[in-house]
Structures are given as C-alpha cells and as structure tokens.
Amino acid sequence: MPKFHARVLVSFRPSVLDPAGEATRSAAARLGIDGIEKLRIGKAVELQLDAPNELEARRRVEMLSDRLLANPVIEDWNMDLTPLSSSDNP
Amino acid sequence: MPKFHARVLVSFRPSVLDPAGEATRSAAARLGIDGIEKLRIGKAVELQLDAPNELEARRRVEMLSDRLLANPVIEDWNMDLTPLSSSDNP
C-alpha cells in the first residue's frame, strides 16, 4: 500500500495569547538576542501513514488533526502531505 | 531595518522516545483512523525579527534555537528563514 509523509502544524489562533512564546521572547532579549518582534510556539506533528491513495491519506490526516491534534476552539492547523516512493519502502 | 520571518521546527532526536506521540497514535487507532505507522510531536516556533541583513538574522535565530528553543541533549532543530518585503512593513 502506498506510504505518505505528513506534517501537521498546529498554532494558536491569532486572538489567543501565547504566554510561553511571550516568555521566550523576553528571555531572548535578556540574553542579548535583539530584534525579535513576534514569537509564537505551536506544535509540529510528523507522521507516516499507509493509505490506498492520496485522497484517502489526506482524509485520515484531516480527521486526526480535527479530533486529536488540535483544539478547534483555540487552535488552527495546516497540513503538508507528500507521497513516499514505494520503491524506498518495499 | 529589514524584517524576516523564521520557522524553527524542534523535534526529538530519533533515539529519544516520544510517549505523547505514541499515545496519540494509539488513540487514532481506537478512533478508527487506520494506517498511521509513525507519529512524533515536536514544536513549531514562528517568529518575526528585524536584522540588518540575512546573515545576521540567521545568526540570531541560531543562537535563540540553541539556547532557548531546543534542548540539545534530546532535541534537534532546523530553520526556514524568509525575508519579508519591506514595502509590506513600512
């Protein structure tokens, strides 16, 4: 069965505060790393899956992202899906 | 001063276990989402910074990643850096 690689990036919606990101930004300034204007921390989920075709792979990753990876009240997500060549994965 | 956008992806080194990723993978199977072979959860840090040039911007994001964003004992990171056109940000 074809294999796919997917990367799902989950980030807070723009209206949601990100205290960890803000703390990191001010720690950077204290360390002498200048010029950082915005900094927001999200999740990056890397996954490998088997599916009969690309459409079905995309459907599975969408379902996973909506139900398990992101909290739709406060988070957005987006996906990159790449087929892995089947000769590399016999 | 020119502005840059950077995305830093922080992931566990391959030899480090990821219990949260493993729990998500088995929860997906229980939900009926089939075919997920690997799943690892990392951090995605989106930032915007001012720097005199691209080399200096890269140096600042490298310092930030090494010192604050990643724990080099258990994590790797990689960066994408993009100049933002200054006409968009007067």
- Would you list the domain boundaries of chain B? 3-14+42-88
Between A10, A49, A68, which is nearest B35 by CB? Answer: A49
The model's pTM? 0.89
| Residue B10 with chain A: CB contacts under 8 Å | 44
Span B20-45, average pLDDT: 96
Q: What ipTM describes this predicted complex?
A: 0.89
Question: Domain B3-14+42-88 in CATH: superfamily?
Answer: Phosphoribosylformylglycinamidine synthase subunit PurS (3.30.1280.10)
**Side-chain half-sphere of B80: how many Cα atoms within 13 Å?**
7
Between B3, B48, B60, which is nearest A33 by CB? Answer: B60
- Element containing residue A64 per DSSP (H, E): helix A54-64
Q: Considering chain A, what percentage of its residues have pLDDT values greater than 90?
A: 92
Interface residues on B facing A, Cβ-Cβ cutoff 8 A: 1, 3, 9-11, 21, 24, 27-28, 31, 33-51, 57, 60, 63-64, 67-69
Q: How high is the pLDDT of residue A86?
A: 59
Span B26-38, average pLDDT: 95
Fold of A3-88: Mth169; Chain: A , (3.30.1280)
Is residue B85 very low, low, confident or very high in pLDDT (cuts 50, 70, 90)?
confident
Span A31-49, average pLDDT: 96
Answer with the residue of higher pLDDT: A4 or A85: A4
